[in-house]
Amino acid sequence: MESIRSGDCCIRKAKKEEWEEAMTLAWDTFLTFQTKEYGKEGRKSFYDFISDRALKNFFLKDVYQLFVAIKKERIIGIITLRNECHISLLFVDKDHQRNGVGSALVQYLSDYVLYEKGIDYITVDSAPSAMEFYHKIGFWDLAPMQTKAGISSTAMKKNLKYTV
pLDDT of residue 2: 67
Work out whether strand 86-92 and strand 151-159 pair parallel, antiparallel, or are unpaired: unpaired
- The model's confidence at residue 27, banded by pLDDT at 50, 70 and 90, is very high
Residue 133, in any domain of the structure = no
CA 74/CA 76 separation, integer angstroms: 6
Task: Flag whether 155 is in a domain.
Answer: no
Domain interval for residue 25: 4-124
pLDDT 10s digits, 68-95: 999 999 999 999 999 999 999 999 999 8
Reported as a single tens digit per residue, the pLDDT across 110-153 is 999 999 999 999 999 999 889 999 999 999 999 999 998 888 89
CB 109 within 8 A of CB 135: no
Q: Is 144 contained in some domain?
A: no
Three-class secondary structure of residue 63 per DSSP: coil
- Cβ atoms within 10 A of the Cβ of 6, count? 18
Spatial separation of the C-alpha atoms in residues 69 and 102, rounded to whole Å: 9
- Give just the sign of the alpha carbon dihedral 150, 109, 55, 91: negative
Answer yes or no: are the C-beta atoms of 121 and 84 closer than 8 Å: no
Q: Is residue 60 in a domain? A: yes
CA distance 93 to 45: 21
Q: Is residue 129 assigned to a domain?
A: no
Q: 146 lies in a domain?
A: no
Q: Where residue 13 sits, what CATH number does that domain have?
A: 3.40.630.30
Tell me, yes or no, whether 150 lies in a domain: no
Q: For the chain, what is the domain count?
A: 1
In a domain, 161, yes or no: no
